[in-house]
Amino acid sequence: EDKILEVKDLTKYFDVYNGLFGKKKYVHAVENVSFDLYKSETLGIVGESGSGKSTLGRVLLKLIKHTSGKVVYRDKDIMSLRSRDFGALRRELQMVFQDPYASLNPRIKIGDAIAEPLVANRVVSSYGEARKKVYELLELVGLQTELYERYPYEFSGGQRQRISIARALALEPKILVCDEAVSALDVSVQAQILNLFNSLKKQLDLTYLFISHDLSVVKHISDRIMVMYLGEIMELAPTDKIFERTLHPYTEALISAIPEPKSKEKRKRIILEGDIPSPIDPPMGCRFASRCFKAMEICKNEHPQILEVQPNHFVRCHLYSEGKED
């Protein structure tokens, strides 16, 4: 499989104001995250709010500055590129956000909103050319070209998400980072947008990073799933393995929370006590220890490393510290 992106020890800390003379403190939002993204795959990233998944997406696209680590794209560490040198590559990495209404200017016709990146990047040089491109993009996302002249308020949530997808596709990206891209939508509309993502992926040969707090959404779209907790990767494996050979207790808990209306034997719901700990001064041992139903003595004191315990199956947990699954 071809790697399209290689992420190495990526870390993002945010400064916390701690008084004039206080010791410097940091939010450990993303810590030593390493993974490869393969061309044409959908990698789902799942975790509760506060797990660092959105920050990871933003850092990857250089929307916020990283603290340390590397992200290699087209043989270049894009983290170390200055914005002038990143310009051409930026077009190939685009983001779709949760709330399309917030990202669309209410006073700009949706056609012009889609045309804007084309004009700004001089992909088109005349209004006629821009219009033609926008028509193609509208059709691509399943909207009629007559809608060019309409304003955002005239659209439903699902249609607005189609519009922002069209805008994200305008510059022909190779990688699309979707951050909670269907989370604001009704379940039936979610399914339509997920289908759209799937068909666009095939048509345009896209690679997705699909971020969501909702494992049932991620499950249906992803080839592989990455589970994050408090800034770290806890488990990373192909989707079928995540569900059939679940290794990490946190992943087990997330899976147990997915409702299964059709299944006869009810899965036992694992209730996690308490909240995700503060990302300021995270626990020194396993970051999940305070809520883990399998925690052992070692878990409080020793930070588990992430290990490939089966081919393509990575887990960070002392239960598998020997490096193989028993």
Task: Out of 286, 306, 309, 313, name the contact with ligand SF4 by CB under 6 A.
Answer: 286
Q: What is the spatial distance between Cα 304 and Cα 318, in angstroms, rounded to a whole number? A: 6
- Least Å distance between CB 54 and Mg ion? 3
Task: Out of 54, 161, 212, 222, name the contact with Mg ion by CB under 5 A.
Answer: 54
Q: What is the spatial distance between Cα 139 and Cα 117, in angstroms, rounded to a whole number? A: 18
Kindly write out the interface string for residues 287-326 of this chain, putting x where it contacts ligand SF4 by CB under 6 A and - elsewhere.
-xx--x-xxx--x----x------------xxx-------
Joined tokens for residue 84: 């002038």
Q: Which of the residues 234 through 253 are near ligand SF4 (CB under 6 A)?
A: 249
**Helix (H), strand (E) counts: the chain:** 11, 12
- In the list Mg ion, ligand SF4, none, the entry touching 318 (Cβ below 5 to 8 angstroms by class) is ligand SF4
Q: Which of the residues 210 through 269 are near Mg ion (CB under 5 A)?
A: none
Rg (CA), the chain: 21
Closest CA to 294 of 313, 314, 320, 312: 320
Q: What is the spatial distance between Cα 41 and Cα 223, in angstroms, rounded to a whole number? A: 6
- Least Å distance between CB 18 and ligand SF4? 28
- In the list Mg ion, ligand SF4, none, the entry touching 304 (Cβ below 5 to 8 angstroms by class) is ligand SF4
Amino acid at 284: M
Q: Which residues on neighbouring strands pair with residue 228, listed in sequence order?
A: 233
- Is residue 110 a contact residue for ligand SF4 (CB under 6 A)? no
Joined tokens for residue 131: 């219009």
List residues near ligand SF4 by CB under 6 A. Answer: 249, 286, 288-289, 292, 294-296, 299, 304, 317-319
Binding site for Mg ion (CB under 5 A): 54
